[in-house]
């Protein structure tokens, strides 16, 4: 009996942390700012666990029955949480935070009841010292198991919705198992068994229908037909298609529209790469869709391209899916290109290679995980990988809608040891969009551009470097790794924009 209960402790500890991770992940997908979402979700969850632990003092009779009911209830609520939150976001986005923290509080309170109830159940079977030591040890080991299983197994294999239902099933099965273990103490357990079986039935139906719920949520969140949706340990990938347009969304944020992405990617690559004399080796950081690589490969002098993108699923999809690979003209399958799936900061710190040109095509600095890639430390590191005469091109958000953020990136590049050369272009899907070249000397406009471009011409290039009064330079402090002021600037500015 003791062994069975200790196994139960391990299982419920694993489940408890997974619910917390699910809520934090879903909040970061839908609301952005990973650090803020995980911090507030964890804080609210731990507070709720404290409330649950305190409330356990009022449960003095029928401990086993109450434990079974708590397990069944946490399985039902926690197991349904990802689905309930997805529906809440679709149907009432304004009230999503209320639903999020309400569910976090309910689940956390129920989880907080579990360990005190188990300790009370076992207190007559073990000495207090051994009981507390063993129960808490298994609780912490279960938390470790959850922290490894969630990103390495559950998310890539099952996704958020199925993971949530599976973990709920684990809690409900613990409840059913407890009825068997304590059958002598619960001679009339028929009603409890019925409750457990009902919860298991609901969770099994939810697990079976999770893909339909996910498809419904995606269809209601995006204006066009969703043709592909994937959840990875890093982000939610969604591709939509209308009659003439294919769009990529990462965590709900538009990354490109096939109708006008050529304006963005030609402007990102060619003003800098065409100005480098005999560029043989090029590095692309981010850009897992292969669209920047397509533009780099238009330059005949380029012999080798290294593309470093964190998410292997993005590069796999855009290399193997015919519709997506068609957009990048098969660039990710080019013999000249090598794909590395790694964190760009870590990879730069460890790799000794040098490059003639670097394309930095990261998402906007909407959270601290991405914000570190817009810091003085990152640009200083990047500079060490440039050959003499080399150059860096960085996408730098909108100088019109996020003016202070744009000029902060420009100032940060300068503080990182590169000479910044800002420019911008109009992309209909995004509006005015900004870029910054980082050079180690004077920048001169190229006189020629590669063949096959749809937008850029040598005659148009000078206009990209002229800023209107409402986009002009504003004083900005550099973005440093220990402060990440850029993330806060970016959030403040984009919150004011309603498209």
Mean pLDDT by 10 residues, the chain (499 residues): 74 91 85 79 94 90 88 94 88 84 94 88 72 82 90 85 94 89 74 92 93 79 83 85 91 90 98 95 97 97 96 94 93 97 94 96 88 94 95 96 96 96 96 96 93 95 96 94 89 75
Report CA Rg, the chain: 27
What is the tens place of the pLDDT at every residue in 469-483? 999 999 999 999 888
Please check whether residues 202 and 290 belong to one and the same domain: no
**Domain, as residue range, for 237:** 225-254
Please give the pLDDT value at position 352.
93
Say whether both 308 and 242 belong to one domain: no
Residue 499's pLDDT is: 47
Residues 293 and 365 in one domain: yes
Whether 369 and 243 map to the same domain: the answer is: no
Q: Which residues are catalytic?
A: 361
The number of domains in the chain is 3
Same domain, 282 and 360: yes
pLDDT score of 498: 56
CATH code of residue 452: 3.40.50.150
Which residues have a Cβ under 8 Å from the Cβ of 384 and sit 6 or more positions away? none
125 and 61 fall within a common domain:
yes
pLDDT attached to residue 7: 82
Residues 138 and 217 in one domain: yes
Q: Are 232 and 270 in a shared domain?
A: no
The domain spanning residue 179 has which CATH number?
1.20.1250
Other Cβ atoms within 10 Å of 185 Cβ, number: 13
User: Are both 300 and 241 inside the same structural domain?
Assistant: no
The CA distance from 155 to 158, in Å, is 6
Torsion of CA 202, 103, 237, 246, to 10 degrees: 90
pLDDT digits (tens, 9 = 90+) for 137-157: 888 898 899 989 988 888 888
Does residue 161 sit in the same domain as residue 242? no
Q: Are residues 241 and 123 in the same domain?
A: no
244 and 156 in a single domain? The answer is no
HEC-encoded secondary structure of the chain: CHHHHHHHHHHHHHHHHHHHHHHHHHHHHHHCCHHHHHHHHHHHHHHHHHHHHHHHHHCCCCHHHHHHHHHHHHHHHHHHHHHHHHHHHHHCHHHHHHHHHHHHHHHHHHHHHHHHHHHHHHCCCCCHHHHHHHHHHHHHHHHHHHHHHHHHHHHHHHHHHHHHHHHHHHHHHHHHHHHHHCCCCCCCCHHHHHHHHHHHHHHHHHHHHHHHHHHHHHHHHCCCEEEEEEECCCCEEEEEECCCCEEEEECCEEEEECCCHHHHHHHHHHHHHCCCCCCCEEEEEECCCCHHHHHHCCCCCCCEEEEECCCHHHHHHHHHCHHHHHHCCCHHHCCCEEEECCCHHHHHHHCCCCEEEEEEECCCCCCHHHHHHHCHHHHHHHHCCEEEEEEEEEECCCCCCCHHHHHHHHHHHHHCCCEEEEEEEEECCCEEEEEEEEECCCCCCCCCCCCCCCCCCCCCHHHHCCCCHHHCCCCCCCCCCCCCHHHHHHHHHHHCCCC
C-alpha to C-alpha distance for 82 and 25, rounded to whole angstroms: 10
């Amino acid at each position: 009996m003791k062994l069975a209960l200790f196994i139960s402790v391990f299982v419920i500890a694993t489940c408890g942390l997974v619910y917390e991770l699910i809520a934090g992940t879903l909040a970061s997908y839908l609301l952005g700012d990973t650090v803020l979402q995980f911090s507030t979700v964890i804080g609210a969850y731990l507070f709720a666990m404290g409330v649950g632990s305190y409330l356990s003092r009022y449960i003095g009779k029928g401990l086993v029955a109450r434990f079974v009911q708590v397990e069944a209830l946490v399985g039902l609520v926690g197991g349904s949480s990802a689905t309930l939150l997805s529906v809440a976001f679709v149907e009432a986005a304004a009230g999503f935070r209320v639903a999020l923290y309400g569910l976090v509080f309910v689940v956390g309170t129920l989880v907080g009841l579990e360990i005190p109830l188990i300790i009370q159940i076992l207190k007559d079977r073990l000495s207090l010292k051994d009981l507390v030591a063993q129960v808490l040890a298994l609780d912490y080991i279960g938390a470790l198991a959850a922290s490894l299983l969630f990103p390495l197994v559950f998310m890539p294999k099952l996704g958020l919705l199925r993971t949530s239902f599976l973990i709920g099933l684990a809690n409900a099965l613990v409840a059913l198992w407890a009825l068997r273990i304590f059958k002598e103490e619960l001679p009339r357990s028929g009603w409890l068994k019925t409750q457990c079986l009902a919860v298991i039935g609901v969770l099994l139906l939810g697990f079976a229908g999770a893909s339909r719920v996910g498809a419904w949520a995606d269809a209601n969140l995006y204006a066009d037909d969703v043709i592909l949706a994937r959840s990875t340990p890093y982000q939610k990938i969604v591709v939509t298609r209308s009659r003439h347009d294919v769009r990529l969304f990462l965590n709900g944020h538009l990354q490109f529209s096939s109708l006008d992405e050529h304006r963005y990617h030609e402007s990102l690559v060619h003003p800098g790469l065409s100005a480098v004399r005999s560029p043989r080796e090029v590095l692309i950081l981010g850009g897992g869709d292969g669209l920047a690589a397509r533009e780099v490969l238009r330059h005949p002098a380029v012999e080798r391209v290294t593309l470093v993108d964190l998410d292997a699923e993005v590069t796999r999809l855009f290399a193997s899916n015919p519709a997506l690979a068609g957009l990048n003209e098969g660039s990710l399958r080019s013999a000249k290109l090598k794909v590395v799936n790694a964190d760009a900061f870590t990879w730069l710190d460890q790799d000794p290679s040098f490059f003639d040109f670097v394309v930095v095509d990261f998402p906007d600095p909407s959270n601290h995980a991405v914000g570190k890639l817009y810091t003085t430390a990152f640009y200083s590191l990047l500079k060490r990988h440039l050959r003499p005469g080399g150059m860096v091109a960085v996408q730098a958000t909108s100088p019109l809608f996020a003016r202070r953020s744009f000029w902060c990136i420009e100032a940060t590049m300068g503080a990182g040891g590169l000479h910044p050369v800002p420019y911008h272009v109009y992309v209909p899907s995004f509006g005015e969009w900004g870029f910054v070249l980082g050079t180690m000397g004077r920048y001169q406009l190229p006189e020629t551009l590669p063949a096959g471009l749809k937008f850029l011409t040598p005659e148009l290039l000078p206009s990209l470097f002229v800023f209107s009064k409402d986009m002009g330079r504003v004083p900005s402090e550099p973005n440093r790794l220990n402060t990440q002021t850029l993330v806060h600037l970016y959030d403040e500015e984009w919150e004011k924009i309603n498209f």
